[in-house]
Amino acid sequence: MKTSPKRKAERNQLSLKIDADTKQRIELLASATQRTKTFVIEEAINQYLSLNEWQIESIQRGLADSRAGNTIAHEDLMKEWEDD
Protein backbone atom coordinates (compact mmCIF):
# COMPACT_ATOMS: atom_id res chain seq x y z
CA MET A 1 0.00 0.00 0.00
CA LYS A 2 1.43 3.37 -1.01
CA THR A 3 1.25 6.30 1.32
CA SER A 4 0.34 9.62 -0.15
CA PRO A 5 2.95 12.36 -0.11
CA LYS A 6 2.64 14.84 2.69
CA ARG A 7 0.46 17.74 1.59
CA LYS A 8 1.61 21.25 2.23
CA ALA A 9 -0.71 23.40 4.28
CA GLU A 10 -2.72 25.88 2.27
CA ARG A 11 -0.89 29.18 2.24
CA ASN A 12 -2.60 32.55 2.38
CA GLN A 13 -1.20 35.99 1.85
CA LEU A 14 -1.21 38.50 4.70
CA SER A 15 -0.25 42.14 4.45
CA LEU A 16 0.88 44.27 7.35
CA LYS A 17 2.81 47.40 8.10
CA ILE A 18 5.80 47.31 10.44
CA ASP A 19 8.33 49.90 11.48
CA ALA A 20 11.60 50.19 9.59
CA ASP A 21 13.70 48.86 12.47
CA THR A 22 11.65 45.67 12.73
CA LYS A 23 11.84 45.17 8.98
CA GLN A 24 15.60 45.56 9.07
CA ARG A 25 15.89 43.06 11.93
CA ILE A 26 13.86 40.53 9.93
CA GLU A 27 16.04 41.07 6.87
CA LEU A 28 19.26 40.71 8.88
CA LEU A 29 18.06 37.54 10.59
CA ALA A 30 16.89 36.05 7.31
CA SER A 31 20.24 36.79 5.72
CA ALA A 32 22.26 35.48 8.67
CA THR A 33 20.28 32.23 8.80
CA GLN A 34 19.97 31.88 5.03
CA ARG A 35 16.19 31.77 5.34
CA THR A 36 13.50 33.79 3.64
CA LYS A 37 11.89 36.77 5.32
CA THR A 38 8.63 34.83 5.11
CA PHE A 39 10.17 31.95 7.07
CA VAL A 40 11.49 34.29 9.78
CA ILE A 41 8.16 36.09 10.13
CA GLU A 42 6.11 32.88 10.14
CA GLU A 43 8.43 31.30 12.72
CA ALA A 44 8.16 34.37 14.95
CA ILE A 45 4.36 34.41 14.71
CA ASN A 46 4.09 30.68 15.43
CA GLN A 47 6.36 30.96 18.49
CA TYR A 48 4.39 33.95 19.77
CA LEU A 49 1.09 32.15 19.31
CA SER A 50 2.32 28.94 20.95
CA LEU A 51 3.64 30.80 23.98
CA ASN A 52 0.50 32.84 24.45
CA GLU A 53 -1.84 29.90 23.84
CA TRP A 54 0.08 27.92 26.49
CA GLN A 55 -0.11 30.84 28.90
CA ILE A 56 -3.86 31.35 28.44
CA GLU A 57 -4.55 27.60 28.80
CA SER A 58 -2.46 27.50 31.98
CA ILE A 59 -4.29 30.47 33.45
CA GLN A 60 -7.66 28.92 32.60
CA ARG A 61 -6.63 25.59 34.23
CA GLY A 62 -5.44 27.48 37.31
CA LEU A 63 -8.71 29.39 37.56
CA ALA A 64 -10.68 26.15 37.19
CA ASP A 65 -8.57 24.56 39.96
CA SER A 66 -9.18 27.56 42.17
CA ARG A 67 -12.94 27.46 41.57
CA ALA A 68 -12.89 23.74 42.41
CA GLY A 69 -11.14 24.48 45.69
CA ASN A 70 -7.80 22.95 44.65
CA THR A 71 -5.62 25.53 46.36
CA ILE A 72 -2.69 25.61 48.77
CA ALA A 73 -1.82 28.25 51.33
CA HIS A 74 1.06 30.49 50.37
CA GLU A 75 3.00 29.55 53.50
CA ASP A 76 2.65 25.82 52.69
CA LEU A 77 3.86 26.36 49.15
CA MET A 78 6.87 28.31 50.34
CA LYS A 79 7.76 25.50 52.75
CA GLU A 80 7.58 22.98 49.89
CA TRP A 81 9.90 25.10 47.74
CA GLU A 82 12.33 25.64 50.60
CA ASP A 83 12.52 21.88 51.26
CA ASP A 84 13.61 21.17 47.68
Q: Is 49 a member of any domain?
A: yes
Distances (CA, A) of 27 to 35, 36, 42: 9, 8, 13
Listed in sequence order, the DSSP H helices in the chain are 20-33, 37-67, 74-83
CA distance 40 to 5: 26
Q: What is the pLDDT of residue 5?
A: 64
Stretch 51-78: mean pLDDT: 95
Domain count, the chain: 1
- For the entire predicted model, the pTM comes to 0.72
Residues near 48 by beta carbon (within 8 Å), at least 6 away in sequence: none
Tell whether 24 is covered by a domain.
no
The reply to whether 61 falls in a domain is yes
Q: Which domain holds residue 53?
A: 43-67
Q: Are 23 and 38 in contact (CB under 8 A)?
A: no
8 Å CB contact between 50 and 56? no
Classify residue 3: in a domain, yes or no.
no
The answer as to whether 60 is a domain residue is yes
pLDDT tens figures, 4-63: 566 778 999 999 999 999 999 999 999 999 999 999 999 999 999 999 999 999 999 999
Is 82 inside a domain boundary?
no
In a domain, 54, yes or no: yes
